Amino acid sequence: MRTGEIRPGVVPVGAIDWDRRIFDELIPLPEGTTYNAYLVRGSEKTVLIDTVDPTKEGVLHENLDDLGVDRLDYLVSSHAEQDHSGAIPGILNRYPQARVVATPRGKELLNLLLHIPGDRIITVQDRETLSLGDRTLEFIHAPWVHWPETMLTYLREERILFTCDLFGSHYASDEPAIEDLGRVYWAAKRYYAEIMMPFRGFIQGHLEKIGPLPLDIIAPSHGPVYRKPGHILSAYRDWVSDSVKNEVVIPYVSMHHSTAAMVRHLEKALTNRGIPVIPFNLTVTDIGELAMALVDAATVVIGTPTILTGPHPAAIYAAYLVKLLKPKTRAMGIIGSYGWGGKTVKDITGVLQGLPVDLLDPVLVKGLPGPEDLKALDALADRIAERHRSYGIL
């Protein structure tokens, strides 16, 4: 359990989930996670910022017991997803006078997902403030980090920005706050890739919006609090920027080694041209690692055999993941081996439809790749190198 104040009167009261290994039944959590909630005491009002996943509700109540919190005036709901809102009904039962504070969209979702009655919810507009006596909360609407209703809360006098999912990391630790981003950089990048990347354009706007705020602390609702907010802000500026890196990601699957041989040849051809390659054998890949590689790479090439009449299901999964996560990747290709026919390219491009990427000419070979097929892969490597030069990254 976490204890101690991050500032006088600002106390983490959330829960650590050391053992959780999957989120949304999709995202691997190799380092567990935390559901951070914060108690903020003003001279007149006491506020709880977010709650915890329902599985850890008991820990939240225990923390409030330990602090002797016998009155709660407001409960700020930054985000209606249940890992932060799921314990709201229990808190409202415990503190009958408490009112939930949410955006208008948040109110709708809390009612829809948790059946919280409308008369227990106060809605706030963008930049509206709430006085706690000697302290002031300012609410900043920030849609799409991670759902449409999300908002940030700024505690002016302490220069703390509570950001819920934004800037979070799935990283279980007893230590509530860190100074050095290096400790959680990869967990934060993984989190960005899996949760935030589809909303890159919105985040660019939010970073501009919060830019002028004096900040001493960023307090997300997953992972540690940042005592040097400049580090995570700068990492996010890099990740959401439009610039891509000179890298090719190759998610692939191979049944009888022909597609794997093509991947190995393309990898060599690209590295010989000065382009680093990150291959992912989809049968053993942690999709979080793949998502992380997609954050920066200029090009993605999917490798798949043709099975029956189309691509291997693992390749379709990878293509669909790219489509969902919307990385800033500029070009995509397809390579693979087939035996007698099929519509592998059509099926994968069908999945990718709508993604703003240039599709490179595919290289599909019959059976085990021969010398002419390897030349076709060299030509593909040339085309990728040409593009990377045109992007100014090679």
Distances (CA, A) of 256 to 121, 173, 253, 304, 311: 59, 43, 10, 11, 14
Q: Which residue has the tokens 């190799």?
A: 30
CB nearer to ligand FEO: pick between 81 and 247: 81
| Nearest-approach distance from CB 146 to ligand FEO, in angstroms | 4
CB nearer to ligand FEO: pick between 7 and 79: 79
| Nearest-approach distance from CB 141 to ligand FEO, in angstroms | 16
CB nearer to ligand FEO: pick between 107 and 222: 222
Tokens of 88: 């709201």
The radius of gyration of the chain from alpha carbons, rounded to an integer in Å, stands at 24
| Nearest-approach distance from CB 26 to ligand FEO, in angstroms | 12
Query: Which of 294, 295, 293, 312 has its CA nearest to residue 303?
Result: 312
| Nearest-approach distance from CB 34 to ligand FEO, in angstroms | 10
CB nearer to ligand FEO: pick between 146 and 265: 146
> Do the Cβ atoms of 200 and 243 come closer than 8 Å?
no
Give bridge partners of residue 75 from the DSSP assignment.
Answer: 48, 100
> Do the Cβ atoms of 45 and 74 come closer than 8 Å?
yes
> Do the Cβ atoms of 149 and 102 come closer than 8 Å?
yes
CB nearer to ligand FEO: pick between 191 and 252: 191
Q: Phi and psi for 322 in degrees, rounded to 5?
A: -60, -45
3-state SS track over 47-95: EEECCCCHHHHHHHHHHHHHCCCCCCCEEECCCCCHHHHCCHHHHHHHC
Distances (CA, A) of 154 to 81, 126, 355, 380: 20, 12, 35, 50
| Nearest-approach distance from CB 148 to ligand FEO, in angstroms | 11
Q: How far apart are the first and last CA of the chain?
A: 48
Maximum C-alpha span of the chain: 78
| Nearest-approach distance from CB 205 to ligand FEO, in angstroms | 19
CB nearer to ligand FEO: pick between 324 and 379: 324
| Nearest-approach distance from CB 54 to ligand FEO, in angstroms | 13
Tokens of 156: 């002016």
Burial 57-77, CB ≥16 within 10 A → b, else e? bebbbebbeeeebeebbbbbb
| Nearest-approach distance from CB 165 to ligand FEO, in angstroms | 4
Residue nearest to ligand FEO (CB): 81
> Which positions lie near ligand FEO, rule CB under 6 A?
79, 81, 83-84, 146, 165, 222
| Nearest-approach distance from CB 240 to ligand FEO, in angstroms | 17
Task: Return the sign of the alpha-carbon dihedral for residues 106, 108, 110, 113.
Answer: negative
CB nearer to ligand FEO: pick between 84 and 141: 84
Measured CA to CA, the distance from residue 67 to residue 73 in angstroms comes to 16
